[in-house]
Amino acid sequence: MPQSADKVLDHNKLFHEPEYKEMFKNKRATFENAPTAPQVTEILDWTKSWDYREKNLAREALVINPAKACQPLGAVFAAAGYEGTMSFVHGSQGCVAYYRSHLSRHFKEPASAVSSSMTEDAAVFGGLTNMVDGLANTYALYQPKMIAVSTTCMAEVIGDDLNSFIIQSKEKGSVPEDFDVPFAHTPAFVGSHVDGYDNMQKGILTHFWKDAERAETDSINIIPGFDGFAVANIREMNRMLAAMGVEYTILSDVSDVYDTPSDGDYQMYAGGTKLDDVKAAINAKATLSLQEYCTRRTLEFCEEKGQKTAALHYPMGVAGTDEFLMTVSELTGKAVPDCLTLERGRLVDAMADSQAYLHGKTYAIYGDPDFVYAMAKFVMETGGEPTHCLATNGSKDWAKKMEELLASSPYGQGCQVWAGKDLWHLRSILATEPTDLLIGNSYGKYLERDLNIPLIRLTFPIFDRHHHHRFPTFGYQGGMTVLVKILDTIFDKLDTETGTLGETDISFDLTR
């Protein structure tokens, strides 16, 4: 009997005790109709071969382990960044349970959203009644300042018209006539969560700006985009912009939403962009997107309203942050202050100190399009070589931009860009053309296990490590976080490889 009260064995130890191992062996031999060990080895080896890679990359229909989610997740995330806002997702209810769970598992925070709970009858007759009753209930129970409506694919397939449904709900008194109910159609079968983010942002701005007059001010708007590190990144950005003395409004500020204190009170609504500020944001002279692929439609709308626009690809690393600061400086006429120049110098100093360990390291990078772009750019600044860059939700246009970026540096030569490919493709790619390091999210741990390539978790979602998202990746300070994570991984690997007493420990160096 392996278990004891004295030293309670958890699953990670318990099931490796002899009693359990014997049980597994018998189960497999007697009941499972399992393939033989040589068969398993043969296929395992084959899955890592060039032959398998060719067949795998030739897939046309099957998608395996894609690094993307669906539109409404992005919509719920975008809406969460507004003051007192409840997301109301029109369609089947299971979806909402999924978005909430997904966000909570990453942020380790509450994630609120409601569903209109449509079932078979709504599939036949449409979901108007669900909308009418649902808005009334949400308004009464959760007392939001705004309800942001998006859709699941069920509502999209049957063609429910949100605009008309919301008007009718207001006529029926579900919510007051002047209550803010912006909406966005967010079909799960088009694009990914980054498009849902875009659509909801556009929906919210359209709601507040469509009939408003614009009187230009010196302020600018900043749209952060879908970002698992948003909590810390937005705060870091605030710090930099305060140092510059810029007047600005963040459109969708989730920093205090997904980071509320434990003080005995659960606050369903904390932080977020003030609704008055959203209204006033039409007057901004410009809107700056920090992630172009999260905001294309939104920026078009801002342009239609007469604003200047600019779009970056996730301001990370030295040049990424330089570009952010210079763009802000250009848009606002404010100079970049010395304190930020100093921070820049510190990041460059740190990179110089460690360059010997970074130079020539090869990387596979996957994630959302803007993140992969920024990450590859930063890696090249350290003398690293991005060897495979993959975005399941990356378009041909993204691939082209990536290729331009890679062509701009000697460290990008030979890098392959994989738009629309998934993580099972990446497994084949890395099995045949391995890299030193892998940068991605928690799902990358399966690749790390299968291929023995260390994973650095730098993008959403991160489920199996806690609180990384509470430290920034944006800006020079954020660059420091990213740099240290990469270096720690490199040093840990070196120590592991040289860490066996009397065998491999010749280079088990105290100072590195």
Residues 300-359 touching another protein, rule: CB under 8 A, are none
User: Which lies closer to another protein via its Cβ, residue 70 or residue 294?
Assistant: 70
Tokens at residue 148, please?
């942001």
Give the residue numbers marked as catalytic.
153, 157
The Cα 322–Cα 316 span in angstroms is 9
Strand partners, 88: 114, 149
In the block, tokens 């870091």 appear at 236
CB atoms within 10 A of CB 158: 15
| Smallest distance, another protein to C-beta of residue 211, A | 27
User: Which lies closer to another protein via its Cβ, residue 100 or residue 334?
Assistant: 100
Confirm or reject binding of residue 78 to another protein (CB under 8 A): no
- CA-closest candidate to residue 367, choices 448, 422, 437, 311: 422
The CA-CA-CA angle for residues 373, 376, 378, to 5°, reads: 110
Residues 232-271 touching another protein, rule: CB under 8 A, are 260-268
Confirm or reject binding of residue 367 to another protein (CB under 8 A): no
What number of chain residues touch another protein (CB under 8 A)?
109
Contact code string over 266-305 relative to another protein, x by CB under 8 A: xxx-------------------------------------
| Residue 237: half-sphere exposure toward Cβ, Cα within 13 Å | 30
Residues 439-498 touching another protein, rule: CB under 8 A, are 443, 446, 450
Q: Is 61 left (phi over 0), alpha (psi -120 to 50) or beta?
A: alpha
User: Which lies closer to another protein via its Cβ, residue 130 or residue 362?
Assistant: 130
| Smallest distance, another protein to C-beta of residue 97, A | 5
Confirm or reject binding of residue 369 to another protein (CB under 8 A): no
Residues 108-137 touching another protein, rule: CB under 8 A, are 108-120, 122-123, 130-131, 133-137
Confirm or reject binding of residue 185 to another protein (CB under 8 A): no
Q: Out of 49, 50, 77, 105, name the contact with another protein by CB under 8 A.
A: 105
User: Which lies closer to another protein via its Cβ, residue 22 or residue 497?
Assistant: 22
Confirm or reject binding of residue 91 to another protein (CB under 8 A): yes
In the block, tokens 């490919």 appear at 421
**Residue 233 in contact with residue 261, Cβ under 8 Å?**
no
Confirm or reject binding of residue 2 to another protein (CB under 8 A): yes
Confirm or reject binding of residue 429 to another protein (CB under 8 A): no
Q: Out of 88, 301, 371, 460, name the contact with another protein by CB under 8 A.
A: 88
In the chain, the amino acid numbered 404 is: E
Backbone angles phi, psi at 316, to 5 degrees: -130, 150
Tokens at residue 26, please?
């018998």
User: Which lies closer to another protein via its Cβ, residue 20 or residue 50?
Assistant: 20
Q: Out of 16, 49, 50, 101, name the contact with another protein by CB under 8 A.
A: 101
Confirm or reject binding of residue 13 to another protein (CB under 8 A): no
Stretch near another protein under the rule CB under 8 A, chosen from 60-68, 212-220, 324-332, 411-419:
60-68
**Residue 256 in contact with residue 271, Cβ under 8 Å?**
yes
**Residue 52 in contact with residue 123, Cβ under 8 Å?**
no
Tokens at residue 85, please?
């806002």
Confirm or reject binding of residue 9 to another protein (CB under 8 A): yes
| Residue 27: half-sphere exposure toward Cβ, Cα within 13 Å | 6
**Residue 110 in contact with residue 262, Cβ under 8 Å?**
no
| Smallest distance, another protein to C-beta of residue 19, A | 7
